[in-house]
Structure 1
Amino acid sequence: MDQLMLQAEKAKDQPQEVTCSVDYVNQKFHRESSSDEEPCLVAKAEDLELGLERVSSQQANKDLSHSLFEFGHNFEDVENWLSFEQPTKTSLTQVLRYMIENHLKTNVQINIDKVNFNCHSVVLQVYSKFFSELEPMPLVITLPMEKVSQKTFLVIYKWMLSDEPKLERKDIIPVFVAASYLRIEALLQQCWQYFENPKCFNEDTACLLYVEARGDAALDIVRNLMLTRICKFMLIFVASRDFLDVPVTHLSFLLSSDDICVNTEIEILFIITRWLGHDWKGRQSHALNLISCIRFHLMPLWYLLCVRRTEEHKLLQKLLNHPSVAAKINQAISQHTSTMYEEQLAGQKMDHMNILKSAQPRKWLLDNECPYFHHISCPCTNSIEFKQFEFYLSILQKKPHNYWQQIEYLDVNNPKMCDCMNDTPPKA
């Protein structure tokens, strides 16, 4: 033992090749083999074969019979072996597809509200980061019903199995929510192809999607995009009950847009009044911020001069008499009168339509159903009231769903004149 330890100490400083300890045994002569024979240390496969040949040669001296292999016959050498016709085999792709599509040998269950879907984990992991990051993969996975409904999961799993998947319009919102939760990038991209296409979502369809998409934070970015598509459909939307639930940030965005279509800037004031009046106690803190969206300089001068005396709606009266709102009205009146005075000094005829062509114009409508339509210079604009606006909204509610498409735009270069233009202007 001491000698072995001494040899081990000497070998520490010398690099050694990793080997295997091998006993060569011939089954036929195993009983006659010496028990004193030491095992061989083999480092390479070639050394292993040399050892086998050595053992075979040793045993050949003890046996006069030889195998065909020892005679030199090579069992692996058959002429033209690979040229022979081979039996056909179903491709692995076809077999796997058949098994997956027929739900054979499924290895995971997706539980959604007491319903189990038998699935192949590899299919889920290929498309979904949610599933691919599960380590280890459970046998049963429970998904929240509010994020992934049973019907939606069925649609998504079929999407995964399809080579050319299509999404139906009725499924796009729940599918987008579920794909966001499950982090299915390819499916989210397909949804965005629809969202970003104005041919799919614009005006009324964009508004419908906006309403449908409320209630989930994952859809906020979609709702923001749809807001930019609501232009000519704006007043139809205002006439609906859904408008009353619009968040203040979204309402502010709409009212600040140059693209929304109205008959007169006065309607912006009325729209704010309608929204605030739905929950005045909860929304009164937003009043001044919303009032800042109004472009008072685009309102008719006669209306600005008279509205604080003639308007009977109590909430609107409260807004109009607020000091900051009154200051905006007075500033707009001053802007109008200054322009009129400058044009008179220059010997020019006052063109009130220049007001609608000024900075930050809206897109102006010419709806024949609007009961308070007047030319902007018409003195009768002083009689426009909130109750007329409410009546107009009731008219819009009864119109065909495509009525908004029939409304014409106002040509500011050749505006329509109202019948009362020849009347004597009332006293302001």
Structure 2
Amino acid sequence: MGETNVEETIKQDEEGTLAIDTKTVKLDVRTLKKIIECCQENQADTLEHVTPCSLIDMGFLFDESIKCNLICNQDSLRAAIAKVVENGIHTDVKVIVHGHTFDCHLAVLQVSTEYFKQFSSTNLIVVNVVQLTKAGFEMAYEWMIKPDMIPHRSKIIELYLAARFLNMPHLINQLWYCFENIEFFREGEAFKLYLQATPHPTATLQSLLLTRVNRFFLPAVATVEYLQLKAEQVYDMLTTSVIAVNSEMEVFLSAFRWLMYEWETRKAHTELLMKAVRFNLMPAWYILSLKTKQAQPELAELLSNPTVHSTVNGGLSYTVTQHFIHSESPLHKPLQMHNTQQREWVIDELAGHHHLYKCPKWQYLDYEHFNIYLEQIITAGPHHYLTLKPFKPSNFLPCCQAVVQNCKTIADM
């Protein structure tokens, strides 16, 4: 196919015909004709749309793992969440306890307790039970949202009851750590907490606290709160071996003091309370004095009770014979000659009956003198019990030192 020099300039004339300048373009006739035909065609009529294709269809495959680590500042996150919780921001549930409304976060309640897990989605929870008080729930929720919550001593029983009702094992464990720490609750503090615990079903805690009363026993007996205890609670208190007394006579008169407060209604508990008295720890001379005719009608009635009378006689038999009956003697078992657990024996220099029996300054301890002694304790102040000394020869008063050599046991003194 021959070539031709196209000398015309390509341009569009008045009729729309394209003119091509062929001075600079050398084309064969067929190609030139084809170009002119394509340019003259209406391209809009022949335009075809391209079908879209995805990256995957085109064969582009990418590595989905990105070689970089995006780290959230967990400390900042925890601090922000703590701020929201502690300040009560965006609370989503109202808890009403005995008419008092608390704005809370349900998630916090469910994480900290087993009780609130039963509520899946709600904005109002009403709790009206004896075990959960307003103060108890308030402190329990404060424990949930604050890392350094310190409960008030006067409300700690309410917090304990709340923790038990709401089923909060972690809080219960922490409270028991406090209860079992003797430095937190001992003697006077233990008795005060015991009084707070007695209206509630807290038998284990009450038993623990009674073992801490110790030297505060007699000051406790001098209080109105002691006189307001139930008979079973007085019995539990008197049966504790670690109560600090100078003699078992004080235990006997402590029981009698409670009975005398409302004699006509309380004398029905005589046998129960006398079971708590260890008559076989009393000296024989004192038991003999109880067997004589009593001028005080109430005391005479108490000692005439058949069960009490038998108990007193058993104590006298033990006291009289304990020094003479060998442990292998055939009389040992019939006389029930077993070693009775002692109390925490102490000496109080202010009390006349705290002198040894054979000391010239000794005074007989009857109910009148016992009440005088309790008045002395009250007058001495709340910390007088700290001055009590263990009952041992080195702590005896000078006037009692002379009789120590002739006494073999506490019962002899």
- Output the TM-score relative to the length of structure 1: 0.69
**AA of the residue aligned to 2:179:** F
Separation in structure 1 between the aligned mates of residue 317 and residue 362 of structure 2, nearest angstrom: 18
> 1:382/1:207 Cα in 2 relative to 1: closer, same or farther (>3 Å)?
closer
Quote the residue 2:182 is aligned against: 198
Question: Conserved in 2, the CA contact under 8 Å of 1:302 and 1:381?
Answer: no
1:91-170 mapped onto 2 (5 Å cutoff): 96-134=81-119, 136-144=120-128, 146-170=130-154
**AA of the residue aligned to 1:297:** N
Question: Conserved in 2, the CA contact under 8 Å of 1:308 and 1:317?
Answer: no
Quote the residue 2:388 is aligned against: 407
Given the alignment of the two structures, is residue 182 of structure 1 paired with residue 196 of structure 2, yes or no? no
**AA of the residue aligned to 2:271:** L
Separation in structure 1 between the aligned mates of residue 275 and residue 55 of structure 2, nearest angstrom: 103
1:227 to partner: Cα distance: 1.1
Question: Conserved in 2, the CA contact under 8 Å of 1:207 and 1:226?
Answer: yes
Question: Conserved in 1, the CA contact under 8 Å of 2:353 and 2:363?
Answer: no
1:180 to partner: Cα distance: 1.5
**AA of the residue aligned to 1:131:** F
> 1:380/1:304 Cα in 2 relative to 1: closer, same or farther (>3 Å)?
farther
Quote the residue 1:214 is aligned against: 198
**AA of the residue aligned to 1:384:** L
**AA of the residue aligned to 2:219:** I
Quote the residue 1:372 is aligned against: 353
Quote the residue 1:266 is aligned against: 249
> 1:182/1:65 Cα in 2 relative to 1: closer, same or farther (>3 Å)?
same
Separation in structure 1 between the aligned mates of residue 73 and residue 343 of structure 2, nearest angstrom: 70
Separation in structure 1 between the aligned mates of residue 82 and residue 314 of structure 2, nearest angstrom: 73
Quote the residue 1:244 is aligned against: 227
1:319 to partner: Cα distance: 1.4
Higher alpha-carbon deviation: 168-177 or 319-328: 319-328
Quote the residue 2:365 is aligned against: 384
Higher alpha-carbon deviation: 376-385 or 296-305: 376-385
Separation in structure 2 between the aligned mates of residue 333 and residue 381 of structure 1, nearest angstrom: 22
1:214 to partner: Cα distance: 2.6
Given the alignment of the two structures, is residue 362 of structure 1 paired with residue 347 of structure 2, yes or no? no
Separation in structure 1 between the aligned mates of residue 199 and residue 135 of structure 2, nearest angstrom: 19
Separation in structure 2 between the aligned mates of residue 303 and residue 196 of structure 1, nearest angstrom: 38
Quote the residue 2:329 is aligned against: none
Given the alignment of the two structures, is residue 287 of structure 1 paired with residue 303 of structure 2, yes or no? no
Q: Secondary structure at the match of 1:106?
A: coil
**Gap runs ≥5 in structure 2:** 1-46, 327-337, 404-413
Separation in structure 2 between the aligned mates of residue 81 and residue 260 of structure 1, nearest angstrom: 73
1:274 to partner: Cα distance: 0.7
1:404 to partner: Cα distance: 0.8
Deviations 1:331-354 (Å, cap 9, x if unpaired)? 4444455467889xxxxxxxxxxx
Q: Secondary structure at the match of 2:227?
A: helix
Count of aligned residue pairs for this structure pair: 344
Quote the residue 1:395 is aligned against: 376
Separation in structure 2 between the aligned mates of residue 88 and residue 183 of structure 1, nearest angstrom: 34
Q: Secondary structure at the match of 1:233?
A: helix
Separation in structure 1 between the aligned mates of residue 48 and residue 83 of structure 2, nearest angstrom: 57
> 1:64/1:258 Cα in 2 relative to 1: closer, same or farther (>3 Å)?
closer
Separation in structure 1 between the aligned mates of residue 203 and residue 325 of structure 2, nearest angstrom: 48
- Output the TM-score relative to the length of structure 2: 0.71
Higher alpha-carbon deviation: 84-93 or 167-176: 84-93
Separation in structure 2 between the aligned mates of residue 129 and residue 148 of structure 1, nearest angstrom: 15
Separation in structure 1 between the aligned mates of residue 66 and residue 250 of structure 2, nearest angstrom: 86
Mark the structure with the bigger radius of gyration: 2
Deviations 1:261-297 (Å, cap 9, x if unpaired)? 2112111221111111123333322212321222223
Deviations 1:287-325 (Å, cap 9, x if unpaired)? 123212222232233323334446433211211233343
**AA of the residue aligned to 1:106:** T
Q: Secondary structure at the match of 1:200?
A: coil
Quote the residue 2:308 is aligned against: 325
Separation in structure 2 between the aligned mates of residue 207 and residue 318 of structure 1, nearest angstrom: 31
Higher alpha-carbon deviation: 115-124 or 80-89: 80-89
Separation in structure 2 between the aligned mates of residue 106 and residue 414 of structure 1, nearest angstrom: 64
Given the alignment of the two structures, is residue 171 of structure 1 paired with residue 155 of structure 2, yes or no? yes
Separation in structure 1 between the aligned mates of residue 378 and residue 220 of structure 2, nearest angstrom: 9
Q: Secondary structure at the match of 1:401?
A: coil
**Gap runs ≥5 in structure 1:** 1-61, 344-356, 422-428
**AA of the residue aligned to 1:305:** L
Quote the residue 1:47 is aligned against: none
Quote the residue 1:297 is aligned against: 280
Separation in structure 2 between the aligned mates of residue 85 and residue 333 of structure 1, nearest angstrom: 87
Separation in structure 2 between the aligned mates of residue 77 and residue 333 of structure 1, nearest angstrom: 101
Q: Secondary structure at the match of 1:369?
A: coil
Quote the residue 1:224 is aligned against: 207
1:197 to partner: Cα distance: 1.0
Q: Secondary structure at the match of 2:94?
A: strand
Quote the residue 1:354 is aligned against: none
> 1:150/1:376 Cα in 2 relative to 1: closer, same or farther (>3 Å)?
same
Deviations 1:87-146 (Å, cap 9, x if unpaired)? 989976566445434434332111234432222211111111111023x44321112274
Identical-residue share of aligned pairs (%): 25
Separation in structure 1 between the aligned mates of residue 377 and residue 204 of structure 2, nearest angstrom: 29
> 1:392/1:186 Cα in 2 relative to 1: closer, same or farther (>3 Å)?
same
